[in-house]
Amino acid sequence: MLADARRVVVLTGAGVSAESKIPTFRDAMEGLWASFDPQSLATPEGFAADPETVTKWYDFRRMKCREAEPNPGHLALARIERELESRSREFILLTQNVDGLHRRAGNKSVVELHGSLEVWRCTETGEEFRDLPAPFDTYPPRTDRGTVLRPGVVWFGEMLPPEAIETAGERLDTCDLFFAIGTSATVYPAAGFSDLARAAGASTVEINPDATPASGHVDESVRARAGAVLPEIVELAFGAGDASPRGGNG
Ligand code: APR
């Protein structure tokens, strides 16, 4: 399917990063953070009440992600993008992950549906800053003009970025192959993406060691770890070449 596809959409979730040992939101709430209520750390109200604690929490998670490395699943997805691009075929990666590992693995066509731990946004102007030095030296962090920065992630009760949803919808409407990888398919709108792709006539594939609510609606449910099976799929579709992890530049 992948070898023949012309317009590919991939949706990823926390499972793709599990093999890089990225703690999920809840897993990260250990040690010092164990006593906090998620509502106080991941809502606009929690941030308004205690911006110092909330930004310390996101900075802690940002540093944990920087310590992690992309795994073979991430690297295989980066190769899929390169292979399709070199054949003038379309590819887009829609991710619910905020850890930035897809970009670090080499994917360029990435839509971060839930934002990114590497993006911080001015609470007054909305201006976004990426890849700021870590850790910050004051909490909450501030711009040079002294205005407060907030994490560029989508909190409980917030809307997903409208342009991300629009791009996702356009690509789902026209794709001919859709993968849902490492996502429990329970959090909307991403949980509905495989049905949208199917309605558009695409073949649909799920990769997850466990069954999900989407498993019965897809053409192929591959019960395996992403890091184990994606490199195999890529090799079947495109051959063994391109061993270099970020490849392409010799
Ligand atoms: N390879 C593939 N899938 C895996 C792997 C792996 N190695 N390990 C675990 N999984 C699967 C699990 O079986 C589970 O179905 O990944 C899925 C992870 O599900 P969730 O933790 O619910 O993550 P996700 O689907 O990304 O959640 C969506 O919910 O908590 C919010 O904002 C958070 O972005 C997150 C959103």
Condensed to tens digits (0 to 9), the pLDDT of residues 146-200 reads 999 999 999 999 999 999 999 999 999 999 999 999 999 888 899 999 999 999 9
**Structure confidence at residue 205 (pLDDT):** 98
Structural domain that includes position 43: 31-67+119-153
Q: Is the dihedral of CA 49, 55, 56, 60 positive or negative?
A: positive
Answer yes or no: do 168 and 90 share one domain: yes
- Domain count across the chain: 2
- Choice from 113, 187, 215, 233 to test ligand 1 binding pocket (greatest atom count within 8 A of CB): 187
**Structure confidence at residue 244 (pLDDT):** 52
Q: Check which CATH number belongs to the domain holding 36 and give it.
A: 3.30.1600.10
246 is a domain residue? no
245 is a domain residue? no
Residue 63 in this model has a pLDDT that exceeds 50:
yes
Answer yes or no: do 230 and 170 share one domain: yes
- Choice from 184, 186, 205 to test ligand 1 binding pocket (greatest atom count within 8 A of CB): 184
Answer yes or no: do 147 and 205 share one domain: no
Answer yes or no: do 131 and 228 share one domain: no
Is the beta carbon of 212 within 6 A of some atom in ligand 1?
yes
pLDDT tens digits, residue range 65-122? Answer: 999 999 999 999 999 999 999 999 999 999 999 999 999 999 999 999 999 999 999 9
For the chain, what is the mean pLDDT? 94
pLDDT tens digits, residue range 114-161? Answer: 999 999 999 999 999 998 999 999 999 999 999 999 999 999 999 999
Answer yes or no: do 166 and 212 share one domain: yes
Return the percentage of the chain with pLDDT > 70, whole number: 96
pLDDT tens digits, residue range 215-242? Answer: 999 999 999 999 999 999 999 999 997 6
Answer yes or no: do 214 and 195 share one domain: yes
Residue 246 in this model has a pLDDT that exceeds 70:
no
133 is a domain residue? yes
206 is a domain residue? yes
230 is a domain residue? yes
Is the beta carbon of 183 within 6 A of some atom in ligand 1?
yes
Q: Check which CATH number belongs to the domain holding 181 and give it.
A: 3.40.50.1220
Instruction: State pTM to two decimals.
Output: 0.94
Answer yes or no: do 136 and 199 share one domain: no
Answer yes or no: do 204 and 234 share one domain: yes
Residue 247 in this model has a pLDDT that exceeds 50:
no
243 is a domain residue? no
Is the beta carbon of 208 within 6 A of some atom in ligand 1?
yes
